[in-house]
Structure 1
Amino acid sequence: MVQALKTLPNYDPTLFEGAAEGYAQYRTKYPPALFDKLTEIFKLNGQGRLLDLGCGPGLIAIPLRTQFAEVIAIDPSSEMLQEAQRQAAAVGANNITWLEQGAELIDSSLGEFKLVTIGRAFHWMERELVLEKIYELLADDGGIALINTNENPWSSNLTWKQAAIGVVKKWLGEERRTGQRGQGVRKPVDPPHEVVIANSAFARQEVFEVPFQKTWTVSSYLGYLYTTAFALKIFFGDNSPAFEADLQAALLEVEPSGEFSEEITANILVAWKN
């Protein structure tokens, strides 16, 4: 009898269509302190191997590569991987292998890993299956780190972020879009990652927090919005100039300086094999 999985998203190749270059440029970079924390937690020393799933344009794999002998970075988007390879070449990162596939397809042919990282992508995956497969690939002293930056403008109490989402809603409607070239609607992540991990073979889990400061401009926040699954540039079509003008007016009304600061907390949800 085949077990029915609780979370079974089908990968949508349009999810970040056209966003790879902007993603690398405008998405919030993880701070060095976050990688220092991972180094401390897992006693990383330049040995062993890292598996980075849903790697996007390499925001984890590239900066964390120096703590490993070898990195395997996997993403289902060829566009993201092409951008990742450009970013890696720019800094001489030559110990990373980039693979185009879904996280659900990993298997023992990849070998053993000290650490598996997933940044802002676990909710897109078939979580129970991916955890099972990760568990089998980990060294006895290894673990998984789910990394997220809590900067979601849809739930922010910052006035300028609320203004930005107000403009998005004006042009795209009240519901938060996701995938299907803007026709999909986002559903909440249920159950939470912690519950899925608690029901898995992993021995224990803990959350670590790394706070840091981030400053945006009108143009960089526009660039960020255009990389999100809810406001890709392709959603606006010929209306993108009008949307951009509206966004600029709304943001400058809140903060005439054109600089927007926020305190971001990066969360690292760590689960150990043993």
Structure 2
Amino acid sequence: MDKLALKAYGKINLGLDVLRKRPDGYHDLKMIMQMVDVYDDIIITKTDRKNEIIVATDKFVLENEKGNLAYMAAKLLFDEFDIHQGIEIKINKRIPIAGGMAGGSSDCATTLMGINEMFDLKLSKEDLMKRGVKLGADVPYCVLGKTAIAEGIGEILTPLPTPPSCYVIIAKPPVSVSTAFVYGNIRPDEITKRPDIDGMAEAIKNGDLYKMSSLLYNVMEDVTVPEYPIIADIKKMMIENGALNSIMSGSGPTVFGIYDNLEKAENTMKLLKKSNLTEQLYLTKFIEN
């Protein structure tokens, strides 16, 4: 196999709670992660340049990015399995960058899966998840995919069934948020409202879209929204125009809204396009199990 084309799907957090800061500086989390049909293209091609891993952006500017997560994923497996074949990894970005949708982690996870397939390494999904956590907390989930409760730093995963069918608007405002800033300013012991993650998981298992939507909540909004009020403006527009609920994904600033009606979702898309609130906008659905 000389060439492989894959999709790296973005995620949203249906619920996100920050429980405590750990002695190692990370935070213990409890959240429900859901993949959506917004994806980056990952195209891996063998080259005749041995021992060289090249990463190309969607503008096809070749970069030997040693800090790039896709590069790090390939390098990890190449080193472990003593692979000397040259490869080029082209990434066509659609997932908002620095948007709270784990785009880099998904590119990383998809590269791990692609290298495993291309070179017939015979690693199981669990094997790849164990390696992925060395590269990023969201990488194991992005290997697992679909719908899951995530605990610990995000690496302890419990699969869930796909939530009921609905329409999802993804809206990225024209700002970027530093994940380090959000984690550096969140105070878990001062959080007064928390999401009911267990209740949401039960609603998903019961196929109850309306109960699930009523429980959407992200404690990171306590930090991000005061710094970037445009997030609240997008949420307000979604809810006023038919969203069952709307919250920020991850550390932000991407916002999503859940709709049970396509006409309402399409109308909201038109309004958001006319506004100056977004730079990336998608009407999509959940990735199903």
- TM-score, length-normalised on structure 1? 0.31
- Structure (1/2) with the larger helix percentage: 1
- Structure (1/2) with the larger strand percentage: 2
- TM-score, length-normalised on structure 2? 0.30
